[in-house]
Amino acid sequence: MKIRLDQLTQTLSRGLVPAYLVSGDDPLLQMEACDEIRQAVRNAGVEERELFHAEAGFEWRNLLEEANAMSLFASRRLLEVRIPNGKPSDKGAALKSLLENPSEDNVLLIICPRLDAAAQKTAWYKAVDKQGVVLPVWPIERNQYPGWLKRRLQMAGLQADPAAVAALAHQTEGNLLAAVQEIEKLRLSGADRITEELVNEATGDSSRFDAFGLADTCLNGNLGESNRMLGHLRAEGNEPIMVLGAMTRKIRQLIALKNCSGQQLSEGFKQQNIWPKQQPPYKSALQRLSLDDLHLALRTAEAADAAAKGSGNDPWLLLAQLVVILSGQHDRLFTFSLS
């Protein structure tokens, strides 16, 4: 069953299904949707969670074996499978097998980037659609963005003047993670009503060191400034997952744009919701980074995401490695491991 993002809460309230597929390119909306599913699973008494990164070389039989194994700690488990390119290396055979004979002991959460028309015709996708819930997470369109900002401000308990909403839309330019960060800073300011002047003051003070500023500095190839910005973000107590979300979004956009040129690139920018003012760092990175570089960056981002969620590695160290890769200075990366 395919649903919209605004239908997720009601769908979850009716009880769990064997599988959920969340696909999309916006890191904030996808992260929040997955968090809502995880919370519903926990509310249903499912405490154990197994995480699988289905990258190149992933052994799909490990997922099947884990799905069929008896848990020593819980009667039910959440099996979370992340497929960075949206294309299972076994062509979806393992997922299809699990969904043809769904187990009451498992809830399957599959996380992918946006899936194209070909992917939606595969047997494994159709199996999820039949047995579970498919949730495509679409980006917020430009004409919808001010309304989305207004609702997020209200959710934070803030009343904002129309001019303030317009200023925030201009400052963040469709970057939802950056917008959420700014709204949180406005909430912490203690102001009863948000004005245009307050927005300009708040975003101006933080613009140099926000997560999207860091990502753009990396794309421009400025390693020294990127390292300083990363250190400042860490010192200020920012969560690594928020910093990572901004960078992962840009990596996936760059991969989608890599083989575009001329008018095709202009159309690609429109499809990726990259506004004209945001385009120069992308153009710089597209000239400097190869497709292999970008896939290495994506694998590093996946490892940092796992570290931020408790894999045992240091997420800030992996973020530092990601900064080096995106800055295009691999000779500075003396040691690199995704183990």
Report if residue 339 sits inside a domain: no
Asked if 97 and 56 sit in the same domain, the reply is: yes
Would you say 152 and 32 are in contact if contact means Cβ atoms under 8 Å apart?
A: no
Asked if 28 and 90 sit in the same domain, the reply is: yes
Report if residue 338 sits inside a domain: no
Q: What is the CATH number of the domain that holds 196?
A: 1.10.8.60
Report if residue 133 sits inside a domain: yes
List, in order, residues 6 or more apart from 139 with CB less than 8 Å away.
24, 25, 26, 29, 174, 273
Asked if 256 and 173 sit in the same domain, the reply is: no
Q: What's the pTM?
A: 0.63
Domain of residue 65 covers 5-137
C-alpha pair distances (Å), 213 with each of 48, 76, 99: 37, 42, 42
Q: What is the CATH number of the domain that holds 62?
A: 3.40.50.300
DSSP bridge partners of 79: 50, 108
Domain termination site, one of 84, 109, 137: 137
Asked if 244 and 268 sit in the same domain, the reply is: yes
Identify the CA nearest to 275 among candidates 162, 172, 147, 135.
172
Report if residue 124 sits inside a domain: yes
Q: What is the CATH number of the domain that holds 269?
A: 1.20.272.10
Report if residue 337 sits inside a domain: no
Q: CA 280, CA 270: separation in Å to the nearest integer?
A: 14
pLDDT at 337: 40
Asked if 203 and 215 sit in the same domain, the reply is: no
Asked if 236 and 273 sit in the same domain, the reply is: yes
Q: Supply the angle between the helices 93-100 and 123-131 in degrees, to the nearest 10.
A: 30
pLDDT at 203: 64
Measured from the Cβ of residue 91, the count of other Cβ atoms closer than 10 Å reads 13
Report if residue 272 sits inside a domain: yes
Would you say 101 and 83 are in contact if contact means Cβ atoms under 8 Å apart?
A: no
Asked if 191 and 268 sit in the same domain, the reply is: no
Splitting the chain (339 residues) into consecutive groups of 10 residues, what average pLDDT does each group show? Answer: 93 95 88 94 90 88 84 74 90 92 89 91 95 92 88 91 90 80 86 86 59 90 92 86 87 92 88 83 95 93 89 92 90 46
List, in order, residues 6 or more apart from 149 with CB less than 8 Å away.
165, 168, 169, 172, 179, 183
Quote the number of domains for the chain.
Answer: 3
pLDDT at 208: 45
Report if residue 267 sits inside a domain: yes
